[in-house]
Amino acid sequence: MKQLNVGILGLGTVGGGTYSVLTRNAAEITRRTGVEIKVVQVADRNIEHAKAIAGNVDVTDDAFAVVNNPAVGVVVELIGGYTLSRELVLKAIANKKHVVTANKALIALHGNEIFAAAKANNVIVAFEAAVAGGIPIIKALREGLGANRIEWVAGIINGTTNFILTEMREKGLNFSDVLGEAQRLGYAEADPTFDVEGIDAAHKLTIMSAIAFGMPMKFEQAYTEGITKLQQVDIKYAEELGYRVKLLGITKRTDKGVELRVHPTLIPEKRLVANVNGAMNAVVVKGDAVGPTLYYGAGAGAEPTASAVVADLMDVARLIDATSAQRVPYLAFQPDQVQDLPILPIDEVQSAYYLRLRASDKPGVLANVTKILGDREISIDAMMQKEPDENETEADIVILTHITVEKNMNAAITAIESLAEITGKVVRIRMEELAK
């Protein structure tokens, strides 16, 4: 029987889960692939910790020893970051080793360079675990939906922010209070910036967009807006109107270019994706033939992510003797068919909007606001005016609009904020139906 020798870089949460799944399910994996997948070397800075997990395997604190080891056929990169990991992955490829990684930042920022190097060296780079943990969304986009022209992809692809938004809605808490709880429970890092500012989601969206539309990675052009400014009152008002607020990564193919954006979004509560709660992930993909399809599951964690890592190793085992022409291309499209599509600036994106304004409780205010919207061809779908609290002379007005171009909405918001009857800034949250 053939044997595939594996070297793992990083034996932390995901690395430990990967080693556990590989050893626990070794017989099942061999039955499926006809190949014995065996870990022969592990690199981790904490040698004692690594030996406690993989005591029967050669353990080193030198990651380059693994990528340079002639006995290792596949390098599994699980150290994270995008500097040292880039150097290690490119060295492994130069050494004619296949690579499996769960590193979304590495692929989003350096994927174009890594794929070119892999093609030149006729090796495989597999990265299913880089997006949505255990959900096989890369395989779905690249293979299962291969007959479709993908029209759009929208996903809850960061479990930390989804946990925070769920807690804010269910318990009526503010962002800062829930963030502390998320950190205590281990859902959020001590420095949660990558999660709460939408950067992590933008890494993952960049990868899905490139595969969906056959274009290079364009992370630097992604529009990113996090959840730190969201207020509990807007989550409450959205629910009263039949919507849920989620941090969505959205990419769409349009006649003018590709939308690539991450931001808080109102979704109708009747949509399945609107009911994805806690730290779970979900991705909706719309293909022209199949229509909308939903992929749901754990987007992080030791064994859910390890599930995707090991599945990639199994693909490598099956395809190791195949030519590059027989393998599924990294970005689903043949390398000479990858197109450098333009990314649409956020000002040119079309969306519906939720607006909340604080206004004086007197006649004529709504007329002035609706005139400003009408002058910019923005039509109103629904409106809700709250009664002022006792002894107050101002009230919240909430407006839902139909679809318009963002630059028109920006101009309208500027004009509304200049009205004497309006106090403070207008709160604006984009809305998506995710139906067609």
SS (H, E, C) the chain: CEEEEEEEECCCHHHHHHHHHHHHCHHHHHHHHCEEEEEEEEECCCHHHHHHHCCCCEEECCHHHHHCCCCCCEEEECCCCCCHHHHHHHHHHHCCCEEEECCHHHHHHHHHHHHHHHHHHCCCEECHHHCCCCCCHHHHHHHHCCCCCEEEEEEECCHHHHHHHHHHHHHCCCHHHHHHHHHHHCCCCCCCHHHHCCHHHHHHHHHHHHHHHCCCCCHHHCEECCCCCCCHHHHHHHHHCCEEEEEEEEEEECCCCEEEEEEEEEEECCCHHHHCCCCEEEEEEEECCCEEEEEEEECCCHHHHHHHHHHHHHHHHHHCCCCHHHCCCCCCCCHHHCCCCCECCHHHCEEEEEEEEEEECCCCHHHHHHHHHHHCCCCEEEEEECCCCCCCCEEEEEEEECCEEHHHHHHHHHHHHCCCCEEEEEEEEEECCCCC
Record the tokens describing residue 12, joined without a space: 């932390």
pLDDT digits (tens, 9 = 90+) for 115-144: 999 999 999 999 999 999 999 999 999 999
**Lookup result for tokens 């450098």:** 340
Q: Which fold has domain 137-298?
A: Dihydrodipicolinate Reductase; domain 2 (3.30.360)
pLDDT at 389: 75
pLDDT digits (tens, 9 = 90+) for 32-52: 999 999 999 999 999 999 999
pLDDT at 203: 98
pLDDT at 386: 84
From the candidates 97, 204, 252, 286, which is the catalytic residue? Answer: 204
Pair 308, 295: CB distance under 8 Å: no
pLDDT at 436: 74
For residues 189-214, give the mean pLDDT.
Answer: 96
pLDDT at 56 over 90: no
pLDDT at 392 over 80: no
- Dist CA 167 CA 175 (whole Å): 9
CATH number for 2-134+302-337 (one of 3.40.50.12780, 3.40.50.720, 3.40.50.10310, 2.40.128.30): it is 3.40.50.720
pLDDT digits (tens, 9 = 90+) for 237-276: 999 999 999 999 999 999 999 999 999 999 999 999 999 9
Instruction: Confirm whether 2-134+302-337 and 137-298 share one CATH topology.
Output: no
Percent over 90 (pLDDT), the chain: 89
For the chain, what is the largest distance between any 2 Cα atoms, rounded to a whole number of angstroms? 83
Q: 212-221, 331-340, 361-370 — which one is most confidently predicted on average?
A: 212-221
pLDDT digits (tens, 9 = 90+) for 398-407: 999 999 999 9
For residues 190-200, give the mean pLDDT.
Answer: 95
pLDDT at 325: 80
- For residue 395, give every residue at least 6 positions away whose Cβ sits within 8 Å of its Cβ, in sequence order, or none: 358, 359, 361, 385, 386, 387, 388
SS (H, E, C) 355-424: EEEEEECCCCHHHHHHHHHHHCCCCEEEEEECCCCCCCCEEEEEEEECCEEHHHHHHHHHHHHCCCCEEE
> Domain coordinates of the chain in residue numbers?
2-134+302-337, 137-298, 350-431
pTM of the model: 0.96
pLDDT at 154 over 80: yes
pLDDT at 431 over 90: yes
204 tagged catalytic: yes
pLDDT at 1: 81
For residues 25-37, give the mean pLDDT.
Answer: 96
pLDDT at 88 over 90: yes
Q: What is the mean pLDDT of the chain?
A: 95
pLDDT at 212: 98
Q: How many CA atoms lie within 13 A of 66 on its CB side?
A: 31
Q: Which fold has domain 350-431?
A: Alpha-Beta Plaits (3.30.70)
pLDDT at 315: 96
For residues 67-71, give the mean pLDDT.
Answer: 98
For residues 154-174, give the mean pLDDT.
Answer: 96
For residues 196-221, give the mean pLDDT.
Answer: 98
Record the tokens describing residue 115, joined without a space: 């794929």
